[in-house]
Amino acid sequence: MAAACFDRHINNFLNTIPADGETFDAQSKCMDMTMDSSTDFLLGCSTNNLVKPSPESRPITADFEFSARESAYRARLGSLLYFLPHGERDRSVKRLREYVRSYMNRAAEEKAKAAGGPEDAKERGYVFLDELLKQNPSEEYTIDTILSILLAGRDTTAAALTALFYFLARSPEVVEKLREEIAEAGAESPSFDTLKNMKYLNNIVKEGVVPIPANMFGAALRLFPPISTNSRMTNKETILPRGGGPDGKLPILVPKGTSVRFSSCALQRSQEVYGPDADEFRPERWESSLRAGWSYIPFSGGPRICIGQQFALTQVLYTLYKFFGEFQSIEARDPMPLGVRSSLSSSFANGCLISVKRARGK
């Protein structure tokens, strides 16, 4: 269902990349691609930021980014939030909700046409919104769900891809091995099973996040998780086995209603779990018997694990396959140290500047 969507927008992404060694910002292009593919898959109509944006596409994208930044900022303020003006944020959120509502109305019109007979129906592939509306949810629930998955499908996927390009631009030996396996697979547009059965890809990372690990993607997620911090609130009093006492190794009481914040970034760089080189990008560590367990949670975990996880993982795998089938080398062009910008998800403060060289015959 998503393969055609991924293929279309990944090809647009590849076609916008300068292949003559010119420096470009991979993060900016990844953000555009994932916004295009996510809106296409979720709403049935893409923003087309990579090729031909509609008049509303860029403003809506800007509203989305602004609302995410504001939400993250305000989440840290607690009770101080009530002393801040929020008119601009409210207007931005209102425009986003109206944007989704317009597609809900369009879906209703298409449904009415289909009910009038085959001659009135417009052919329409799989659209997440259409499937969601079959459950007759409330308007508020529908809009909330679409915007939540859009965040997961756009921001976290783009962050993971950007991190991959950052690390792989500094790891030519990993790129070479990956390209060899892509050549062996031979498929121009790989199926999910093809990606799943690529042994090197699966042995590189083995993150244990999903049934089909994302290999190098996992290593990038370990060092640069798209959601670097998160929290949960206890719905009843409980005792955790560790966290109390002067050394943090004794049990600790957590009263009902306590907000417990955790850092996946800190967990995933633990030397106790990942070894003394935990801060290094070394995909081969996952070829051993490493079992990270709850020390690897880039998509969180439990009942409230990220609902867009599989969508994001599949798109990243597909993009990697197509990208390194098209380009034979990737070079870092960052003039300054890596900086991290934190919103609802993490991104690179200064972008990710790289250059590529097209493979022979491409």
| Residues that constitute the known binding site for heme | 306
- Strand duo 259-263 + 250-254: pairing: unpaired
Q: Enumerate the known binding-site residues.
A: 306
Element (H, E) at 232: strand 229-233
Cβ atoms of 191 and 237 within 8 Å: the answer is no
Report the alpha-carbon distance of residue 31 to residue 154 in Å, rounded.
Answer: 7
Q: How many whole angstroms separate alpha carbon 59 and alpha carbon 302?
A: 35
Distance from C-alpha of 25 to C-alpha of 354, rounded to nearest angstrom: 7
Neighbours of 146 (CB within 10 A): 24
What the block records as the tokens of 224 is: 């640069």
| CA end-to-end span of the chain | 27
What contacts 193, CB < 8 A, 6 or more positions away? none
Calpha distance 40→37 (Å, rounded): 5
Amino acid (1-letter code) at residue 253: L
Residue carrying structure tokens 């329409």: 124
Asked whether the CA dihedral 254, 255, 256, 257 is positive or negative, the reply is negative
